[in-house]
Amino acid sequence: MGKALKEGWAAPTDVYSGALGLGPIGEAVAKINPGIPIPEMINQDALDKACISKGGICLIAVLPSRFEKPLEHFKGVASRWLGDSAALANFVWLNEEKQERFVETFKVEYFPGLVAVNVRKKLYSSFVGNFDTETLYSFVTRVLSGKEALTRFDSLPKLEKASPTLPMAGLDALLGKKEL
């Protein structure tokens, strides 16, 4: 779960007295620790800070405007144990509608999609398959262990400056929910 009291953490004050079992305990822990934050890449500086400057493999989810469910699957992969190579993995996402040049460079054809990029070596691998936690996890572990086919690219496209993408619930609240 990570070290207690690091940035954004608070010490729990309640003693768990719920049912013993993986599900109920997991729900209680999720209230305290909502999981690994996966930032949206809204400009080149964000990508540099969250991924490129850290080195390793940038796992970039390319999500559609309705991103909530695919992002939860991606967070499920980020929160799983990835072995010794976990330090090499940096998880981020971007909106495919706002970053067309990036999508074209890495030939992402279906959304949601995932691209594993090693910027230093100028190699990448695109995920093909069902966008669910188990399939994504399998792809990520294959990439991190060097068992996935890689393709060379000339240069990483600069991300266009964009505004953060609002989740549909936030958009409904902003515009006022309308029933059909």
Residue 45 pLDDT = 95
CA pseudo-torsion sign 85, 86, 90, 95:
positive
Residues 93, 38: contact at Cβ < 8 Å? yes
Q: Examine residue 30 and state whether it is found in any structural domain, yes or no.
A: no
Total domain count, the chain: 1
User: Could you read off the pLDDT of 63-86 as tens digits, one per residue?
Assistant: 998 888 999 999 989 988 777 666
pLDDT for res 97: 92
Return the percentage of the chain with pLDDT > 70, whole number: 82
Range of the domain at 125: 37-175
Within a domain: residue 4?
Answer: no
Residue-wise pLDDT tens digits, 8-65: 656 667 788 888 887 788 778 777 776 678 999 999 999 999 999 998 999 999 999 8
Determine what percent of the chain is predicted with pLDDT higher than 90: 53
Quote the Cα angle for 75-144-90, to 5°: 45
Whether residue 20 is contained in a domain is answered as no
Question: Can you tell me the mean pLDDT for 117-146?
Answer: 94
Q: Which CATH number fits the domain that encloses residue 89?
A: 3.40.30.10
